[in-house]
Amino acid sequence: MSKKIVFIGAGSVRYTIKLIGDLAKTCELNNVDIGLMDIDEERLRATHILAEKYSEELGANLNIQSTTDLEEALKNADFIINTALARAEGHEDGYVQYEIVRKIGEEHGYYRGIDSQEFNMVSDYYTLSNYNHLKMSLDIARTIEKVCPDAWLLQTSNPVFEITQLIKDLTKVKVVGFCHGYAHIFKVTEALNIDPEKVDWQVAGVNHAIWLNRFYFENLNGYEILKKWIKDKSEKWQPKDPWDVDLSFAAIDMYEFYGMLPIGDTVRSGTWKYHYDLETKKRWYGKFGGIDNEIERPKFYDQLRKTRSKLIKLAEELRENRNLKLTDVAPEIFPESIDSQEQHIPFINALINNKKARLVLNVENNGTLKNLPDDIVVEIPVTVDESGIHPEKIEPDLTDRIKEWYLMPRILKMKWALEAFKTADLRAIEEILLRDPRTRSYKQVKGVIKDILDLPFNKEMKNYYS
């Protein structure tokens, strides 16, 4: 019987297309059934048209169906990839809401938004306890429990840590969190001019908070290579783009304090030392100030919208001209051969066809990271095969400073956010903000919460916390 893979939030056109490309290039999975689901009919139609044509060009035989009905999409599903982003009615995407909320936050003295707290990504998620994302993701998981309880849920949309933990805590769904941040290890090896194929590495932590605990190159200690780079080249470092922060001054500063190098988005989520204002961000992250600021983040959103519009237009052109070849007209989006570094398809292939794969996934700790709670979701290297997920032994262990100064506070923040959501207690939201380094008074906390809850698209959240 053919296996079925469902994409929830398939209207994220480019990301879905990337994974369809991975599927099409995986010969063992060329005959799977694909279900595309999104509430946005225009984007869903565009994704369907482009996915069919792209897989056809790559020589795959994917059976693709699409629907706006979640239960219909989930029928007979074996794997569900959730990339859905909560979006309020009347807004073209969730990013508009992000910027509206950030503006309110800044008016109340919370630079770069309400969720810019220490030990979290800077203003990249929804407001307060992430109510909208948590509610939507939990609803999806409970529908999976009802319609296809044996399916795997591959949780991809952020915040991966909070959502994966919530679903694990409140449902029986087989949930695993996915993030491509681990792949920044290869950006580090590129900067250090060493062959990644010859590197023995491990990363460990929680999502967006992972550290390079093992680093060897041809049996040499890779950290000695890094120290030499810091001594000889770090002062001349400049970012290529706003996302290029892997060996930034902030990354090196965190390495020198914590004893291991932060990897991927971890570099962006240090303390407020790196984020007080735009000038401070530029001092630590180079000329762009990283991606998490009032200049570069809106540019990024605008580029996403332009790409989406381009893809929707391309889909309409394909309806008129099926001879159009995607790999010719937009090779940057529809490559004939490339490793996306996404882990979803290798994970599925390993479970179905025993194509053993080493991946970095978000799974329950169960003693893998010592001195951290067993029941929390951690991000660690694992081997996946037809018998399941097998965590690696973490050697060497993370430093005490990483665990006690970084991971435990981050885990506590996750627990606080979920406590607020589970209990619908607005006082928990207040207490989180009272611990925020930007807070100067209780009046400030009450004011910013009121203004955010009074936004028209937050009506459901306001009623929930009332």
Domain positions in the chain are: 1-84+129-178+306-344, 179-293+356-422
Average pLDDT rounded to a whole number, residues 342-348? 97
Least confident of 91-95, 193-197, 260-264, 339-343: 91-95
Average pLDDT rounded to a whole number, residues 128-147? 91
CATH architecture of structural domain 179-293+356-422: Alpha-Beta Complex (3.90)
> Which of the listed ranges 8-12, 61-65, 105-109, 362-366 does the model predict with the highest average pLDDT?
362-366
In this predicted structure, the answer to whether residue 90 has a pLDDT above a threshold of 70 is no
Q: Which residue has the higher pLDDT, 222 or 103?
A: 222
The superfamily in CATH containing domain 1-84+129-178+306-344 is NAD(P)-binding Rossmann-like Domain (3.40.50.720)
For the beta carbon of residue 454, count every other beta carbon within 10 angstroms: 11
Confidence of residue 393 (pLDDT cuts 50, 70, 90): very high
Q: Give the model's pLDDT for residue 194.
A: 97
The residue from 180, 253, 425, 451 that is catalytic is: 180
Q: Give the model's pLDDT for residue 322.
A: 87
**Phi, psi dihedral angles at 320 (to 5 degrees):** -90, -25
Average pLDDT rounded to a whole number, residues 113-120? 56
Per-residue model confidence as pLDDT tens digits over 275-321: 999 999 999 999 999 998 999 999 999 999 999 999 999 999 998 99
Q: Give the list of residues 6+ apart from residue 149 with CB closer than 8 angstroms, or none.
A: 172, 173
Binding residues for Mn(2+): 179, 208
Q: Give the model's pLDDT for residue 61.
A: 81
180 labelled catalytic: yes
In this predicted structure, the answer to whether residue 360 has a pLDDT above a threshold of 70 is yes
Binding residues for substrate: 158
CA distance 94 to 124: 11
Express as a percent the part of the chain with pLDDT over 90: 79
Per-residue model confidence as pLDDT tens digits over 177-219: 999 999 999 999 999 999 999 999 999 999 999 999 999 999 8
- Fold match between domain 1-84+129-178+306-344 and domain 179-293+356-422: no
The residue from 265, 275, 292, 344 that is catalytic is: 265
Is the Cβ–Cβ distance between 378 and 372 less than 8 Å? yes
> Which of the listed ranges 126-135, 320-329, 376-385 does the model predict with the highest average pLDDT?
376-385
Least confident of 53-62, 105-114, 121-130, 382-391: 121-130
In this predicted structure, the answer to whether residue 125 has a pLDDT above a threshold of 80 is no
Per-residue model confidence as pLDDT tens digits over 143-190: 999 999 999 999 999 889 999 999 999 999 999 999 999 999 999 999
**Sign of torsion, CA 121 123 127 128?**
positive
Q: Give the model's pLDDT for residue 219.
A: 85
Q: Give the model's pLDDT for residue 88.
A: 64
Q: Give the model's pLDDT for residue 1.
A: 60
Q: What angle do CA 324, 328, 329 make, to 5 degrees?
A: 70
Q: Give the model's pLDDT for residue 2.
A: 86
Express as a percent the part of the chain with pLDDT over 70: 95
In this predicted structure, the answer to whether residue 122 has a pLDDT above a threshold of 50 is no
In this predicted structure, the answer to whether residue 91 has a pLDDT above a threshold of 70 is no
Q: Give the model's pLDDT for residue 114.
A: 67
Q: Give the model's pLDDT for residue 119.
A: 43
In this predicted structure, the answer to whether residue 120 has a pLDDT above a threshold of 50 is no
Q: For residue 162, what are the CA distances in angstroms to 120, 410, 448?
A: 11, 11, 23
